[in-house]
Amino acid sequence: MILIADGGSTKADWIALDVNKAETFRVRTLGLNPAVVPQEELHNRIINMFQLIQVKDEVKEIYFYGAGCGTPKAANILANVMQAIFVNAKIVVEEDMLAAVYAASGNQPALVAILGTGSNSCYFDGTKMHMKVASLGYVLMDEASGNYFGKRLIRDYYYGLMPNYIVEKFEKEFVLDPDTIKQNIYREPNPNMYLASFAQFMFEFKEEKYVRRLMRKGFEKFFKFRILPYQVAKDTPIYFIGSIAFYFREILDDVAAKYDLKITDVIQRPIDNLLEYHRNNIN
């Protein structure tokens, strides 16, 4: 049995394949980002998924592509956790950016970006990924990501910049007292997921001027730091992955057009495309 997984900070989608590469089941676990989730919790999030544990001795290969797995140290942490559970498996852990590339362009050159809980981008030349800047995560970077917009919603609320009619619903949706917010950001695990949970609120108000202005500013910042520095040819395919990009594609297209660029496609969940890539390219 082979397991293929695409893991963001919030969730990880798994597909199990039999020896003929036919799909046998799918499951979703909580995110397995080794950069922010403690090792014991990574272990618990896997073993608490019954479908995975039920077949753990049958699994011969695991291909896991995950947020926070872009450095050898972090990737090894997750690989060691998995090896202790799936004792008969060969385990390959790569960063989620590579999964985005495989899902979007396969083996063809392209500029690929992720806008989910976190954000990132790369240029893929058909063989290797090239990244202008290493990702330093939700505190210092992650422009236009879920946690980026979550932070801005909270700040706008406290600074009195959020329109009153949106404030009313925002207060009904979330616990907004300072102690609760600081507890979740500074003391609880997965603060990036917590911040990104606020961004989902924007989907309800996607046509409102305030939200559209917020999104546009975030997307412009992402293009400035994560797209334009690659200086690719104008006809280079550009793909975006993730729910933020998917639900706000219209604004994303407008920002791209501002720089005389055109987005080829936006993929909300890359797991299906990733599955097809593996069926066609992994022996």
Average pLDDT over residues 244-270: 94
Please report the pLDDT score of residue 107 as a whole number.
87
144 burial level (CB within 10 Å; 0-12, 13-18, 19+):
buried
pLDDT of residue 282 exceeding 80, the answer is: no
Instruction: Flag the least confident range among 126-135, 234-243, 245-254.
Output: 126-135
Please report the pLDDT score of residue 136 as a whole number.
83
End-to-end CA distance of the chain: 13
Q: What is the per-residue pLDDT across 161-219, written as a single tens digit (0 to 9) for each?
A: 999 999 999 999 999 999 999 999 999 888 988 999 999 899 889 899 999 999 999 99
pLDDT of residue 265 exceeding 70, the answer is: yes
pLDDT of residue 283 exceeding 70, the answer is: no
Q: What is the CB neighbour count within 10 angstroms for residue 118?
A: 29
Please report the pLDDT score of residue 279 as a whole number.
87
Distances (CA, A) of 164 to 18, 156, 170, 210, 235: 54, 11, 10, 11, 44
Q: At what angle do helices 146-159 and 164-173 cross, to 10 degrees?
A: 120
Q: How many whole angstroms separate alpha carbon 241 and alpha carbon 255?
A: 16
Report the percent of the chain where pLDDT is more than 90.
76
pLDDT of residue 137 exceeding 90, the answer is: no
Amino acid at 154: I
Q: What is the pTM of this model?
A: 0.86
Helices and strands (H, E) in the chain, number of each type: 13, 10
CA contacts within 13 A on the Cβ side of 51: 13
The pair of three-digit structure tokens given for residue 43, joined into one six-digit string = 């272990």
Q: How many whole angstroms separate alpha carbon 132 and alpha carbon 134?
A: 7
230 burial level (CB within 10 Å; 0-12, 13-18, 19+):
middle
Average pLDDT of the chain to the nearest whole number: 93
Phi-psi region of 106 (alpha: psi -120 to 50; beta: other; left: phi over 0): left
pLDDT of residue 111 exceeding 90, the answer is: yes
Domains of the chain (ranges, CATH numbers):
2-100+271-281 (3.30.420.40)
